[in-house]
Amino acid sequence: MKESQPRTIYLKDYRRPDFLIDETHLRFQLFEDGARVTSHLHIRQNPDAVDFRNVLRLDGVDLELQHLVLDGRELQPNEYVLDEDGLTLERLPKAFVLNVVTWIKPQENTCLEGLYRSSSMFCTQCEAEGFRRITYYLDRPDVMSRFTTTIEAEKDRYPVLLSNGNPIESGESDNRHWVTWEDPFRKPCYLFALVAGNLEFVESHYDTMSGRRVQLRIYVEPHDLEKCDHAMDSLKRSMKWDEEVYGREYDLDIFNIVAVSDFNMGAMENKGLNIFNSSCVLANPKTATDATFQRVEAIVAHEYFHNWSGNRVTCRDWFQLSLKEGFTVFRDSEFSADMHSRAVKRIEDVNLLRTAQFAEDGGPMAHSVRPDSYMEISNFYTLTVYEKGAEVVRMLHTLLGAEKFREGSDLYFERHDGQAVTTDDFVACMEEVSQRDLTQFRRWYSQSGTPRIVVTDEYDEASQVYRLHVSQSCPPTPGQEVKEPYHIPMKLGLVGSDGQDLAIPFANDVIELTQSEQTFEFSDVSSRPVPSLFRHFSAPVKIDYGYTREQLTFLMSHDSDGFNRWDAGQRLATSVLQDMMEASLAGEALQVDQAYLEAFRSVLEDKGDDYAMLAKMMAVPSLSFLAEQSDVIHVDALIDARETLQKRLVAEFESLIVERYQVLDSSMKGTGTDSLTMGMRSYKNALLMLLAAGGSESVGDLAHRQFRAAENMTDELSALNALVTAASEQAAQALEAFYQRWHKDALVMESWFSVQAASDAYGSLENVKALTEHDLFSEKNPNKVRSVVGVFAGQNWKQFHQADASGYEFLADWILKLNKLNPQIAARLVTPLTRWKRYEPARSEAMKSSLARIARAPDLSKDVYEVVSKSLK
């Protein structure tokens, strides 16, 4: 273990800043061996500081300080204190000007925070604490300043020079040129951005609701110009949606997006200059799958929506991260639901939540939506802060109704415009407009863990009374032994034997749970109904009601709620699979329940045209979902049960599946990306994948034909995936053909890497190691690391969990390698190992010892140290 542990930061220690920075003038001089950053800061004592201390502590990491000038006088080294992570000045006047000159080395910056190089460009990433790698500054979100930025660089290499706001001046001399940008909006430094490179752009415009014309540009490397249209259209749709649904209008005259190939996350909402991981913005049907199209649309929307929920109103401190992220995820998710199928979007979101977020909430890194403490804030950009945070906002929407919720959001934006605020401020606005007491509801922000709801019911035929008994509890999580009851909206349906919903006496069919145990009584119920609980997944909880398989098949075909129809199918499949796992553990023959086969048949025979939904309905629950449902994860039994089920489905229904596949395949060609066409493709390819996973004889030919005839990446990649999954004869040849066709396209090659890393047959440890040595692989590129190492550890259950622990050791080696290069990515990769306590003893021990080996390594980054040390507790 590290000798000196990283410091833990606590929410309870929050203090207002003692100093404010009204103006920030920056000058960047970019060179091939480094960059000089000159800052000119107008600083003053904060009149609202509590217990003011006249000590100015500026954050700064990996900077070479060249000059420090206070009100025109160069300071001598004995007038300030410089240490590893900052600079301290004392006894300062009420207001003063500080000039700081630092020299930094973007070329050597592999952590991809601050100013760094990606391909031939310079770019920045400052959230959460990257600005301190650029210059000494008050790097905290509650210090908001007006920024003016001048960028100076060689003209030929870097013809494009961008920053936030509007360009106001430019000039050139010899072979260098410069541009000055001014951002009229005050902002925290985490929203600062700069890009310099040899870029080209696609341009369009948007006329806002008040009639202002906004120039829209997407900057990319020249060879990516033909991949920008979809992001541009998505941006315009987002701008319109935010005007219509939230009354939010864009506020600058320019909105720029830049695509960057080396990026730690998806994208970043810098004011007026969003920077995107190229994989989350570039798409055309030839090179990107439908799933990518939808992801690009959602992320473009998400970053755009941040202009209000994040930028105009920002976070007081990083514990409030969900203030902007939870709200913005809720906003982007509703946007996608409006653009496509609401039920399908809900299914996808809930799938992610119930597998990955529930696992996080039940693991050693569990934290509340508003965490109480952290060592490294980068570790808290989590599914809990984002996805559970969005569910919490969704529950407010459900409790208040759409109209009051909109009133609350209007009040929030109006009251807090230009401020850095807290999640409490957000809830207070909702409270005020609805006149409701949301004190108990606030526990969703402060308590971690997934609540469990147990429902039992009784029906009394004589009195025609039906009762639901509902109890709630929440298991202990690290640092939180005891939980208080939550305020939970349960959207309920009671489905009568005729398949119709009974009328129930609750506004919008929402029952509010507030106590540990409650009973709800319904009168005049003429026969026993089937309860449809938490429709549309109205709360992020685990639901325990002893459904019979008959009730589940009944709900699958009769529930008026699309999400719950799908969920009934998943529950049925899960319960069947659980029986099969038990049989596998007991060494008995694995039986597939007839009721499930019949339900599956009816999905296949459904002639409706909601294809996207049918694709979801027929999906066999994933290994990760099944693992999350298990008390103890028995890897072999899990795989055995799931594989056996898929084989049985194919054995039983092969001809029907093939027929459905062929009808769809022949009725759709081309590259359309409308919802209906994408839905058809997803269903068709889900059928093909089932044939591949279930050992169909015919899949090799079908997939190979599809592979050769494909006119779009969805069909091409699905066919390749099917061939690889089925380990068919044609697979090796198809992988080679795909490589030949696409090796010049970095993003397409990421899929080529993942398809192999995820496969039993092609993703053996040996092959995966070879992939990491491939010419097109780079350990410095996060997308490549994720597509090989991340996919192997997260999706290739058979190979990653090899009984000899070789998969775990391989992952540990990578974590240690990346610990130095890119700590953020390293810490993310630890996730699969952190779940060691959930596994059967042998694997559990092996995972733990790989973690312990990481923990013993010298010089662990804060990022990795925090995750590993908490996981070993």
Q: How far is the CB of 160 from Zn ion (least distance, A)?
A: 25
348 counts as binding ligand B3K under rule CB under 6 A: no
With CB under 6 A as the contact rule, the residue among 121, 128, 637, 658 that binds ligand B3K is 128
CB distance 569 to 552 below 8 Å = yes
Nearer to ligand B3K, 134 or 577 (CB): 134
Q: Choose from ligand B3K, Zn ion, none: what does 290 bind? Cβ within 5-8 Å by kind.
A: none
Q: Using the rule CB under 6 A, is 269 a contact of ligand B3K?
A: yes
CB of 424 to Zn ion, least distance (A): 20
Strand partners, 219: 201, 258
CB of 336 to Zn ion, least distance (A): 14
Residue 262 binding ligand B3K, by CB under 6 A: no
Which one of Zn ion, ligand B3K, none is in contact with 717 (Cβ closer than 5 to 8 A by kind)? none
Q: Which of 626, 739, 641, 760 is nearest to 692 (CA)?
A: 760
The yes or no reply on residue 268 touching ligand B3K (CB under 6 A) is yes
CA distances from 474 to 368, 370, 519, 541 (A): 13, 17, 19, 9
- Whose Cβ is closer to ligand B3K: residue 325's or residue 561's? 325
By a kind-dependent CB cut-off of 5 to 8 A, residue 128 interacts, out of ligand B3K, Zn ion, none, with ligand B3K
Residue in 24, 43, 106, 127 binding ligand B3K, rule: CB under 6 A: 127
- Helix, strand, coil percentages (3-state) for the chain, rounded to 5, are 45, 20, 35
d(CA 602, CA 664): 17
The reply to whether 297 sits near ligand B3K by the rule CB under 6 A is no
Q: Answer whether the bond into residue 128 is a cis peptide, omega within 30°.
A: yes
Q: Which stretch binds ligand B3K (CB under 6 A): 299-307, 346-354, 412-420, 844-852?
A: 299-307
Binding-site partner at residue 378 among ligand B3K, Zn ion, none, CB < 5 to 8 Å by type = ligand B3K
Closest chain position to ligand B3K (CB): 127
Binds 18, which of ligand B3K, Zn ion, none (CB < 5 to 8 A, cut-off by type)?
none
Among the options 127, 221, 297, 303, which is catalytic? 303
Q: Which does 381 bind (CB under 5 to 8 A by kind): Zn ion, ligand B3K, none?
A: ligand B3K
Give CA–CA dist 669/673, Å, rounded: 11
Distance from C-alpha of 155 to C-alpha of 296, rounded to nearest angstrom: 32
Task: Name the residue nearer to ligand B3K (CB basis): 381 or 520.
Answer: 381
Q: In the complex with ligand B3K, which residue's Cβ is closer, 221 or 269? A: 269
Q: What is the three-class DSSP state of 860?
A: coil
Sequential DSSP letters for 65-123: EEEEEETTEEPPGGGSEEETTEEEEES--SEEEEEEEEEE-GGG--S--EEEEETTEEE
Contact of 183 with 272, CB cutoff 8 Å: yes
Stretch in the footprint of ligand B3K (CB under 6 A) among 302-310, 363-371, 412-420, 634-642: 302-310
> Which lies closer to ligand B3K via its Cβ, residue 280 or residue 645?
280
Partner residues linked to 40 by β-bridges: 25, 99
Task: Select 298 or 710, whichever has its Cβ closest to Zn ion.
Answer: 298
Cβ neighbors of 445 (< 8 A, separation 6 or more) are 322, 368, 369, 370, 392, 423, 424, 427
Classify residue 579 by burial, with Cβ atoms within 10 Å: 0-12, 13-18, 19+.
middle
Of residues 126 and 690, the one with the C-beta less far from ligand B3K: 126
User: Which residue, 251, 357, 249, 338, is CA-closest to 298?
Assistant: 338
User: What is the rounded distance in angstroms from the CA atom of residue 7 to the CA atom of residue 195?
Assistant: 33
Site membership for ligand B3K, residue 728 (CB under 6 A)? no
The number of CA neighbours under 13 Å toward the Cβ of 526 is 7
Window contacting ligand B3K (CB under 6 A); options: 6-14, 62-70, 248-256, 298-306: 298-306
Nearer to ligand B3K, 381 or 600 (CB): 381
139 binds ligand B3K (CB under 6 A): no
Report the Cα 501 to chain-centroid distance in Å: 35
Residue 840 burial class via C-beta count within 10 angstroms: exposed 0-12, middle 13-18, buried 19 and up: middle
Say whether 127 is catalytic.
no
Minimum Å gap between C-beta 386 and ligand B3K is 7
Residues at the contact surface with Zn ion, assessed by CB under 5 A: 325, 328
Given candidates 248, 271, 302, 442, which one binds ligand B3K under the rule CB under 6 A? 302
What angle (nearest 5°) sits at the alpha carbon of residue 411, between those of residues 405 and 413? 105
- Report the 3 state secondary structure along 399-449: HHCHHHHHHHHHHHHHHHCCCEECHHHHHHHHHHHHCCCCCCCCHHHHCCC
Residue 378 found at the interface with ligand B3K (CB under 6 A): yes
325 counts as binding ligand B3K under rule CB under 6 A = yes
In the bound state with ligand B3K, the residue whose beta carbon lies nearer, of 132 and 306, is: 306
CA–CA separation, 492 and 502 (whole Å): 10
Residues in the interface with ligand B3K (CB under 6 A) total 12
Binding partner selected for residue 567 from Zn ion, ligand B3K, none, CB under the kind-specific 5 to 8 Å limit: none
- Residues binding ligand B3K (CB under 6 A): 127-128, 265, 267-269, 302-303, 306, 325, 378, 381
Catalytic machinery residues: 303
